[in-house]
Amino acid sequence: MSYTPGFAPDAQSQLGALDPSDQEVAIDELDRLAARPPSGDEYVGEVVTEGVGTRRYVFVHVTIDQVRSIVTLVGVGCVERPAGG
């Protein structure tokens, strides 16, 4: 059963500070988690994307309301590292 995905206002601001492509990755990951909700109350997901000579790491921290069927983003961030060091 899918849950409703959304953002805490503070996480919305964090998302807005990311590059648009990273924002899209984070929202996709949130949607993915809402489609297949993890068990428990909190979950941290990470997505790695490859760029030209770089690797980008997007992380999302969500809370899961198992009663109301809601997955809410409470933290999101991103860093870039050279691919293969």
Please state the closest distance from residue 22 (CB atom) to other proteins, in A.
10
Q: How far apart are CA 70 and CA 85, in angstroms?
A: 38
Q: How far is the CB of 76 from other proteins (least distance, A)?
A: 7
> Which residues lie near other proteins (CB under 8 A)?
4-12, 14-15, 20, 23-24, 27, 30-31, 34, 40-44, 46, 48, 55, 57-59, 61, 63, 65, 70, 72-79, 81, 84-85
What is the C-alpha to C-alpha distance for residues 38 and 42, in angstroms, rounded to an integer? 8
**Is the torsion defined by CA of 4, 7, 48, 19 positive or negative?**
positive
Least Cβ distance, residue 39 to other proteins (angstroms): 10
The conformational region for residue 31 under phi > 0 = left, psi -120 to 50 = alpha, else beta, is alpha
